[in-house]
Amino acid sequence: NAGVTQTPKFQVLKTGQSMTLQCAQDMNHNSMYWYRQDPGMGLRLIYYSASEGTTDKGEVPNGYNVSRLNKREFSLRLESAAPSQTSVYFCASSEDSARTNEKLFFGSGTQLSVL
């Protein structure tokens, strides 16, 4: 049982390059999320998808786009990477974001450096 799988684990980009971070979950969860973690900042929500076919902005969506490809997969795209997007990115999933006793399950993260 893999849970939440993120690829790649590490990536180095040059300013202005684009890339897509991939995330897949095998728990049949409805809701998926993308967070970023910077030193001393905790985790901040970038985008989320409450259910297949829907996506919404979180706290820090600027510079990112997302696609909920199907129920299993939720990708995060950086169209023109900037050094400020250097961070560790975590994907997470949960059964249903509207439930009161919701638990999030996180992937192992993608460490992204933008030079």
Partner 1 sequence: DAKTTQPPSMDCAEGRAANLPCNHSTISGNEYVYWYRQIHSQGPQYIIHGLKNNETNEMASLIITEDRKSSTLILPHATLRDTAVYYCIVRVFHGSGNTGKLIFGQGTTLQVKP
Minimum CB distance to partner 1, residue 81 (Å): 21
Closer by beta carbon to partner 1, 17 or else 61: 61
- 109 part of the interface to partner 1, by CB under 8 A: yes
Give yes or no for residue 97 binding partner 1 (CB under 8 A): yes
Judge whether 83 and 38 are in contact, CB under 8 Å.
no
Q: Which of residues 15-74 bind partner 1 (CB under 8 A)?
A: 31, 33, 40, 42-45, 48, 50, 56, 58-59
For partner 1, the closer CB: 17 or 111: 111
Q: Please enumerate in sequence order all residues whose Cβ is within 8 A of that of 21, keeping only pairs 6 or more positions apart, or say none.
A: 6, 7, 8, 11, 34, 75, 76, 77, 78, 89, 91, 110, 112
